Amino acid sequence: MNECYYDKRMDFFYNKTKTDTADEWTGPQLIVVLCFGTFFCLFIFISNSLVIAAVVKNKRFHFPFYYLLANLAAADFFAGIAYVFLMFNTGPVSKTLTVNRWFLRQGLLDTSLTASLVNLLVIAVERHMSIMRMKIHSNLTKKRVTFLIISIWAIAIFMGAVPTLGWNCLCDITICSSLAPIYSRSYLIFWSVLNLVVFFIMVVVYIRIYMYVQRKTNVLSSHTSGSISRRKTPVKLMKTVMTVLGAFVVCWTPGLVVLLLDGLNCTHCGIQNVKRWFLLLALLNSVMNPIIYSYKDDEMWGTMKKMICCSSEDKSHDRRSSRIPSTVLCRSTDTSGHYIEDGIIQGTICGKGDLGDKGNS
């Protein structure tokens, strides 16, 4: 029967796997990593808090898609917490950690990744439900969206706790990985392959939806006298979602590939030399998302700017950016039922203008 090492500190496992943490996390490299990490984490906390507050404050964001977008921002905020905890428990400090504290460190990172990934998958389902009917928002009720958000975090917490629950190498150190000295290599293979497969599925789904929207929009444009803005709004929203997904895949794929190589016990791949930089790349994803939201959605940027400037809610909405109009929409009176009217069409607010256009549709 194999001996278990629950009472050992992490230096025992690092020595067994011949992982040197001191040399690679000291000196100028450590200072650079900590400076960039601190700056990024502060930006993550502030920017994602603004996104969540904007969705709560602006009633035009009270739709399933934006609730899920706010939850994605919450996952990014949680990722910031995970990175802060990592910064104070990495490098030479890693060897002094107890097994439980190291599990907590890695579990926070795994939970944040899973929360973002599952949230993007749920958004893909929500987009599929909406776009296939050429609507901007699905008919999900607030109760169902709340249930989905709770389920996302339940799955994320469970996946982050799987190694702690038993899928580790504490009782068989011969199968320990080098990047995660108390994770078994079989778990790293499972974890990385699962995430990469989900990446691929989501990319295929979004490409399919985008092609469908483009084709449907081109067909309807020749039979619809409504505004161009209204017909192109689904495409604009899909571009926002696909940009978020693309950034997520680009930032996380290198790290997952490194984990996969470690799980396959690739001793000549030089994974120890690149792991910290790929971790910073993954951190960068949580920085990019709020920028994407504000750049792609004029209404989101306007709401966030008002909160930053502490201006009154009664301020006129006449000032519009030269960028794309907001993707926040109200329901159309279009008898065909295929569209939801744009919240701002030709400079008017939902329910207050463009009556002629509604009459033509």
What is this structure's pTM?
0.76
Q: Identify the pLDDT of residue 318.
A: 45
Instruction: Give 110-161 pLDDT, tens digit per residue.
Output: 999 999 999 988 888 887 777 776 666 666 788 889 999 999 999 999 999 9
Residues near 321 by beta carbon (within 8 Å), at least 6 away in sequence:
298, 301, 302
User: Could you read off the pLDDT of 307-351 as tens digits, one per residue?
Assistant: 888 644 444 444 444 444 444 333 333 333 333 333 322 333 333
| Alpha-carbon gap, residue 218 to 212, rounded angstroms | 10
List of residues 6+ apart from 148 with CB closer than 8 A: 68, 122, 140
In the structure, what pLDDT confidence band is assigned to residue 303 with cuts at 50, 70 and 90? confident
Q: Which domains does the chain have, with CATH numbers?
A: 10-222+231-309 (1.20.1070.10)
- Cβ-in-10-Å burial (0-12, 13-18, 19+) of 333 comes to exposed
Mean pLDDT of the residues in the chain: 76
Q: pLDDT at position 312, please? A: 45
Distance, CA of 272 to CA of 115 (rounded, Å): 26
At residue 5, the pLDDT reads 82
From the number of C-beta atoms within 10 Å of its C-beta (0-12, 13-18, 19+), residue 308 rates as exposed
Q: For the ranges 28-32, 37-41, 48-52, which has the lowest average pLDDT?
A: 28-32
Distance CA 306, CA 31 (A): 36
Report pLDDT for 343: 34
Average pLDDT (248-259) is 88
Q: Give the pLDDT of residue 153.
A: 96
- Here the tokens at position 132 are 């296939």
Token pair, residue 56, equals 């709560």
32 CB-near residues (< 8 Å, 6+ apart): none
- Count of C-beta atoms within a 10 Å radius of residue 281: 16
Helices (H) and strands (E) in the chain, counts: 10, 2
Q: Which of 17-21, 98-102, 111-115, 222-226 has the lowest average pLDDT? A: 222-226
**How many Å separate Cα 70 from the centre of its chain?**
10
